[in-house]
Structure 1
Amino acid sequence: MRPLRLLLTLLASAWLPACATIPAPQPKVERTVAAEPFVIAANPLAAQAGLNVLKRGGSAVDAAIAVQAMLSLVEPQSSGVGGGAFMTYYDGRSGKVSVLDGREVAPAQAVSTMFLRSDGTPLSFDEAVLSGRATGVPGAVRMLAVAHGERGKLPWSSLFGDAEKAARDGFIVSPRLARLVHADYAENHAPDVVAYFSQGPGGRLVEAGDRLTNAAYADFLNRLASQGPAALYSGSTAARIVERTRAGPLGGSMTMADLATYRPVKREALCRPYRVYVMCVPPPPSSGVGLIELMKMLERTDIAQRGPSDPQSWYLFAEASRLMYADRDRYVGDIASVPVDGLLDPAYVASRVQLIGPTAGPAPSAGVPAGAKVAANDTTYEPTGTSHFIIRDGDGNVVSMTTTVESIFGSGRMVDGFFLNNQMTDFAFKPVDDQGNPAANAVAPGKRPRSSMVPTILLTPDGKFAGAIGSAGGNSIIAYVAKSLVASVDWNMTMADALAAPNLVARGPNFQGEVTKFSPEILEGLRQRGIDLKPGQGEDSGLTGVLIRNGEIDGGADPRREGVVLTLPRP
């Protein structure tokens, strides 16, 4: 047995009882040495807002609130106060990892056929995303308020100043925001999007370098700071959300009661050994189980020894990805019957790896893990919105948070200076298949749509923080994060290089990625193995990641976006 595998076996036996999925006491990790605080976010203004909070002695959760408030302004195509989020949290004193689920929910009057036409055929995505039915009850603000009540150090009212000032005085439009403002998605043509980003003579769309103000958002943040989450979930803003989502075309069913009764869900982190670490992710309706399944499959291959220059490494990654996605798409949703233990059972993982042959064949089918129920194949379409950030405070507490309005500018509908999510389109449009099998991700009142967001935290065997990672990118998030873990852990790249490494997304019959970033030798090697890589997905990931190596911070932000790593030196 290889030494690393032997070590992994020992780690598994030592750590599985302490994982949050198995009832057992959490390890005690009493920290006496202050950790070096840092913020890694996809936009420099957002990262700086978070660091400013840490400078004032704020907690990681305090800083997360400031980051989210700023992202809603400067990166509205990705996330915002009108959307939802998952937070994976590491407690620096106890070593416990927990999850707060701030995913949007379907309104109480939602029906499973809401995205079907009268003849039973599904709406196109463009029809659905621009409809009033697209918006779920937003969860990010309430989730952050709950986290702040438990883990905040500074007053809630003090956390929005940077974002309010930037909204009132204006901020400089970044190249990425300008590119997406001028893109040709359905949402770009929504009246609210066009109106917000038009300025100057003739109402031209903003360009990179222009200054953009948002007085309505500044006013909202002022009320959010003074009133708390009630500023969004009740009163005038809530009334405007309801009015805006009920407007045509295809008006939705959200009510003031839906907003008033929204609550985030506290969940136990799903933890499993991975190489020399323990990986902790959110459980369903997040796709964390899919990420762990993929990494456990790759552990059973020789991808680590082969390295990034061997086409067989990328072939193994592609085929394992397809097997994982087949399982994820079939079984994961906001339902009690997700076969989490079955999907991660070592014997089942081994059986899936055995399906990887010398060449790629047709799209693989889902397996039948223990506990699985008959379910329909899922056809959910997930665009590449979203943002991820990581924060550590001086007490060693860590937030790994993925946040989203789902698509580019969400549903394209704006209230009080922020865009509303289109998270309902993350449900399966068809609630059953042609054989009558139910989709795990079908719409139901109060249900949360399945998410590909996987904010991840890595631990050492004795429960200390070892790293964190996450990404934007719709259903490609799992592939982006897995690629970066392989590159940073298995291939020992720096985190910056690992995030920059080419993306490859293999799902069903499709093999897509950053074709121009792979060498001709790798592309030819993949073709010889039955994979003709095409562009189409992989170009717009939004990774942020960090590993603690020899006590030092090895952090990185995806070069495909505008992110930065900011640290606050120890006093």
Structure 2
Amino acid sequence: MKPHILLSLCPLALAACATLPQPSAAPAAPPRIGQLDSAQVGVQGLVSAADPRAAEAGAEMLRLGGSATDAAIATMLALTVVEPQSSGIGGGGFLLMGDAAGNVDTIDGRETAPAAATGDWFMRGGKPMEFADAQPGGKSVGVPGSMRLVALAHRSHGKLAWKTLFGPAIRLARNGFAVTPRLNHALSDGVATGGFDAAARAIFYDSAGTPRAVGTTIRNPALATTLERIAARGAGDFYSGANAREIASKVSAAPHNPAPMTVADITAYDAKARPAVCGSYRGYRICGMGPPSSGATTVQAILGQLERFDLKALGPQSPVAWHLIAESERLAYADREKYLADGDFIKVPVAGLTDPSYLAQRGELISPDRTLALVQPGTPPGARLIMGAAGKTPEEHGTSHFVVVDRSGNSASYTSTIESAFGSGIMVGGYYLNNELTDFSFVPDVGGIPVANRVEGGKRPRSSMSPTLIYGPDGKLKLALGAAGGATIIVQVAKAIIGVIDWGLPAQQAIALPVLFAPGGNTVMVEKDSALEAMIPALKALGHADVQSRPMPLKANAIERVGDRWVGAADPRSEGAAVAQ
């Protein structure tokens, strides 16, 4: 297991907790990896995010009397500035908002394909494009959803003035922020996309094309101006006028993979309120995001299929426990691949996929002493015969998750993304545009049968984002949770839930547990340099013939209720932190 960041928890009384200094004209300093506390304790409000400067932006809103939703919006805007490789206003996301009574609202801000998109969008010469070729440039860009998402959330759950939420992000962009090791690594590793656009190169690279060094102050006046304009005029300014024209122009005239996107595509975008998808696991109520996210259904499938096994008795050191988790993941991902897509285009059998009887039936296929030779999708109640495509799970580093709880017990669990590191590489107004359309199936049909997640105009690509809220047997919020890391998001969340509920671990330790990823087929991947590597022989003895040790782009954040306190948690693999109100 990788070493954990030591927790230095402040006293229970919030007044005794040291808070971060208020933002000033000085550039915001970078996180110090391995030296920052990754958790704080609060009795009123708390924010946990992938960057402490963004978490502080959210905490500032809580101190001003804002709601959890206000704080989540401010955090997202700040991440646009300080974590440009991962998320922001050029992408989209999913937001869960819960109140103290356990009511959960969800908003779908997933990007959409332009009207001109068709099933062969990513086909070239009769063959699907390689991901590395499809990612940069115009063809991968979906109409961004973030600003419509937060505008809808603010109308229904906000307390502070709209323009107030933009203050911290504007200061960070205008006054400057210091380059972190993670940003520097992303710039070094992703020169092709990070420096794809001349405007981006001027901000993040020197004249020789070298990424700005760790600690270097970055200022992004173009982004500050964009944020100031939206703060003054509202979210509609993003989807009309000069900003919409520049998005359409840059996508349509991109030097690589130009694609037809119009101002009308952008103007027509709307975020949508969706019903939460809730299920149960060992007496806990688990709520997540429905289609086009595959998060809630797949997390609940993994858990529901395991409920008949005594994971608590096995414990996290048991290879059998991880074998059972691997088998459940294989079954859950098989159903995900076949049935999950945008529910506005495809009838997704959500109720059937999360039906306890169906999951118990699927769980009966799992054996503690042997591996399934062949994993196939099941037939959940309400399913139609739609063939899923051969799955692709490209690694991505362009997602961020953050969670908030406010003094009234309201919560927000928000996953925001631009897909791969720096998205499409195209920059508009100081922010990167996403490459979310690569989450569609590149193959439109299999054997003449349409693929559920094929590309279609106006459609939202399937996502693995899994913002989650968990309520205890007492009906009170127990855990707000989510992660970043492509298709591994689902297993990171499921693993953390097992860690808290089955193994009795604090959320910080549950997040830090190593990750096992078995997304179908016969391949099992375990996190490199983790305790799971030592279990590879035991996993092979249980029948997993292909067990590989791989580095994974893992990054999770959570807030947990412990008695009358909120305890924040951030992935020790990341630069994340929790900040108390």
Per the normalisation by structure 2, the TM-score is: 0.88
Structure 2 residue aligned with 1:403: 416
Structure 1, 199-208 or 162-171: larger mean CA deviation: 199-208
Shift of 1:361: 4.4
Structure 2 residue aligned with 1:310: 318
Within 1, Cα distance between the matches of 2:425 and 2:534? 43
SS at match of 1:134: coil
Give, as a single letter, the amino acid of the residue that structure 1 aligns with 2:169: A
Per-residue CA distance 1:198-218 (angstroms, 9 max, x = gap): 444634211211111111101
Kept after mapping to 2: 8 A contact 1:192/1:412: no
SS at match of 1:386: strand
Structure 2 residue aligned with 1:22: none
Within 2, Cα distance between the matches of 1:143 and 1:35? 29
Shift of 1:382: 4.3
Residue pairs, 1:85-100, within 5 angstroms: 85-92=93-100, 94-100=101-107
Kept after mapping to 1: 8 A contact 2:190/2:421: no
Structure 2 residue aligned with 1:107: 114
Work out whether 1:498 is the aligned partner of 2:504. Answer: no
Residue pairs, 1:548-563, within 5 angstroms: 548-563=561-576
SS at match of 1:566: strand
Structure 1, 544-553 or 458-467: larger mean CA deviation: 458-467
Structure 2 residue aligned with 1:279: 286
Per-residue CA distance 1:426-462 (angstroms, 9 max, x = gap): 11111101x1111111111211111101100012345
Work out whether 1:535 is the aligned partner of 2:545. Answer: no
Among 472, 484, 488, which residue is 2:500 paired with?
Answer: 488
Per-residue CA distance 1:243-262 (angstroms, 9 max, x = gap): 11101433222211121121
Kept after mapping to 2: 8 A contact 1:171/1:211: yes
Shift of 1:188: 4.1
Kept after mapping to 2: 8 A contact 1:83/1:421: yes
Residue pairs, 1:372-411, within 5 angstroms: 372-378=383-389, 379-384=391-396, 385-411=398-424
Closer, same or farther in 2 for the Cα pair 1:204/1:515, shift >3 Å? closer
Give, as a single letter, the amino acid of the residue that structure 2 aligns with 1:78: S
Structure 1 residue aligned with 2:491: 479
Among 545, 563, 567, which residue is 2:558 paired with?
Answer: 545
Per-residue CA distance 1:225-257 (angstroms, 9 max, x = gap): 101112211111111100111014332222111
Structure 2 residue aligned with 1:364: 375
Work out whether 1:300 is the aligned partner of 2:308. Answer: yes
The alignment yields a C-alpha RMSD, in angstroms, of 1.9
Among 523, 526, 538, which residue is 2:536 paired with?
Answer: 523
Within 2, Cα distance between the matches of 1:72 and 1:188? 14
Among 441, 450, 472, which residue is 1:428 paired with?
Answer: 441
Structure 2 residue aligned with 1:146: 152
Residue pairs, 1:320-359, within 5 angstroms: 320-335=328-343, 336-357=346-367, 358-359=369-370
Closer, same or farther in 2 for the Cα pair 1:221/1:529, shift >3 Å? same
Kept after mapping to 2: 8 A contact 1:82/1:421: yes
Within 2, Cα distance between the matches of 1:198 and 1:444? 35
Residue pairs, 1:6-155, within 5 angstroms: 36-92=44-100, 94-117=101-124, 119-155=125-161
Structure 1, 245-254 or 555-564: larger mean CA deviation: 245-254
Within 2, Cα distance between the matches of 1:337 and 1:421? 26
Closer, same or farther in 2 for the Cα pair 1:521/1:382, shift >3 Å? closer
SS at match of 2:450: coil
Among 217, 226, 230, which residue is 1:224 paired with?
Answer: 230
Give, as a single letter, the amino acid of the residue that structure 2 aligns with 1:88: L
Give, as a single letter, the amino acid of the residue that structure 2 aligns with 1:505: F
Specify every segment of 5 or more residues in structure 2 that has no aligned partner in the other structure, as ranges: 1-41
Bigger helix share: 1
Kept after mapping to 2: 8 A contact 1:43/1:564: yes
Kept after mapping to 2: 8 A contact 1:54/1:60: yes
Kept after mapping to 1: 8 A contact 2:203/2:220: no
Work out whether 1:169 is the aligned partner of 2:179. Answer: no
Kept after mapping to 2: 8 A contact 1:35/1:395: no
Identity percentage over the alignment? 40
Shift of 1:345: 2.5
Among 417, 430, 454, which residue is 1:442 paired with?
Answer: 454
Per-residue CA distance 1:58-113 (angstroms, 9 max, x = gap): 11111112111110111111101000010011023x43111111111111221111
Within 1, Cα distance between the matches of 2:534 and 2:85? 36
SS at match of 2:58: helix
Within 2, Cα distance between the matches of 1:153 and 1:516? 45
Structure 1, 388-397 or 79-88: larger mean CA deviation: 388-397
Per-residue CA distance 1:361-411 (angstroms, 9 max, x = gap): 445111122222222233243433211000111222111000100111000
Structure 2 residue aligned with 1:245: 251
SS at match of 1:425: helix
Per-residue CA distance 1:318-366 (angstroms, 9 max, x = gap): 1111110011011100134212222222332122222223233445111
Specify every segment of 5 or more residues in structure 1 that has no aligned partner in the other structure, as ranges: 1-33
Shift of 1:173: 0.5
Within 2, Cα distance between the matches of 1:374 and 1:222? 49
